[in-house]
Amino acid sequence: MLSCTTKSLSFVRNLSIHEYQSKGLLKSFGVDTMIGEPAATPAEAERKAKEVLANGSGKLVVKSQIHAGGRGVGVFKSGFKGGVKLAESAKEAGELASKMLNEVLVTKQTGPDGRLVRTVYLEDAAPVKREMYLAILMDRGFGGPVIVASTEGGVDIETVAHTNPNAILKFPVDINAGMSTEQAMDIARGLKFEEKSVPQAADQIQKLYNVFIETDATQVEINPFAETTEGKAICLDAKFNFDDNAEYRQADIFEMRDPLEEDPFELEAMKHDLNWVTLDGNVGCVVNGAGLAMATLDYMTLAGGKPANFLDLGGGVNQKTAQEALRLVSKNPNTKLMFINIFGGIVSTAMVARALLEAIKVVKIDVPLVIRLDGTDCIEARKILKESGLKYTEATSFEDGINKCVAMAKNL
């Protein structure tokens, strides 16, 4: 998992899966959810809806499947409102699916470009008494998992945290001891379940925690975590994130990856063992080491610049990695200026300079270039670049590089 936060930047990178996949995963761990089926065409949606209606409550919900929240209040670019709709017949479900499938849904989390809906999920409508919020995540401050719960669910939890912070409950869990029945029951009581319903709710909370631990999840968010009219706890929606570093032992889960929902630049970077995150600025960044890469984003943002990406070459740099990094940054249409920021600790910057020059022979760079090479063999490295005939702007320090990038970007 990769994370970075600045005054104006915040991003997290890890595997996400669709809701219908999350529901299947929950069921495999004994977590209670409503029955449901995915569909990719209106005809399939109508057929699957008949199956759900025959085995369910008589009503169902048609849900757009994209990797973003706020679907229910989202708006399609076609003008159709709402990516989550109630249907009372299979025919109506098919009609709703026809308005969602192959249409772009815009929510507060997708940005103005929105996401194309390729799948809908037909789910039995639960007899809901009330909606709550429950999430499990890793928290550095607590040094392990934390349960975040609230009686105010089915809404934007960030808004709840801002308007009514006392409604947010936090329960740290000892990762070595695990979640006890007593702690799970305390959480259930904190969510205001009646005493007769506490054991079943606690059982569901413990099973959710088991899912979190055993799948190497970084986040399990259930919003809403609901109570039915019968007093039973049930998961009505589910959002999962998984630690990318756990792919080797979670192969089945990582096979659920939907590349069409992910940034193509990030997928391409992964093929070459590069770490990439697309941002919304115009200065493309090529940096060695995650720490320096994040510091570059922070410093540039504080100086008034706008980085176009996070890119970590890793501790060592060779012609192949340099070539692929330059190719990625150059392909990004937002890149109007490129900043190569290399500090040689163990690696020789002279070797890096030669690798960069060889890479530039292969990758056509059509934007202004600012290069900072500092650290081991930097004097030789700067000489190599100066004598190469390469057109670039030299930065003699980290600060100098940032200032030159910010000044140049203003005129682009």
Q: Is 209 a catalytic residue?
A: no
Radius of gyration of the chain (CA): 25
Helix/strand/coil percentages in the chain, nearest 5? 40, 25, 35
Token couple for 235:
């998961």
Nearest by Cα to 217 from 5, 29, 9, 4: 29
Amino acid symbol at 394? E
Q: Is 103 a catalytic residue?
A: no
Active-site entry in 121, 133, 209, 299 = 133
Kindly report each contact of residues 114-119 with a partner whose C-beta sits within 8 Å and lies 24 or more positions away, as own/partner.
114/74, 114/76, 114/77, 115/66, 115/67, 115/68, 115/261, 116/66, 116/260, 117/64, 117/65, 117/66, 117/83, 118/40, 118/65, 118/260, 119/18, 119/20, 119/38, 119/39, 119/40, 119/65
Helical axes 398-409 vs 290-302, angle rounded to 10° = 50
Q: Could you please report the per-residue DSSP string of 163-187? A: H-GGGEEEEE--TTT---HHHHHHH
Can you tell me the distance from the alpha carbon of 280 to that of 110, in angstroms, rounded to the nearest whole number? 13
CB 204 within 8 A of CB 181: no
Active-site entry in 44, 103, 221, 266 = 221
Residue 310: φ, ψ to 5°:
-105, 130
Nearest by Cα to 392 from 371, 378, 373, 374: 371
CB 314 within 8 A of CB 293: no
Nearest by Cα to 405 from 363, 371, 382: 371
Sheet holding 75-76, edge to edge: 75-76, 104-106, 115-116
Binding residues for ATP: 63, 70-72, 131
Q: Which residues are catalytic?
A: 133, 221
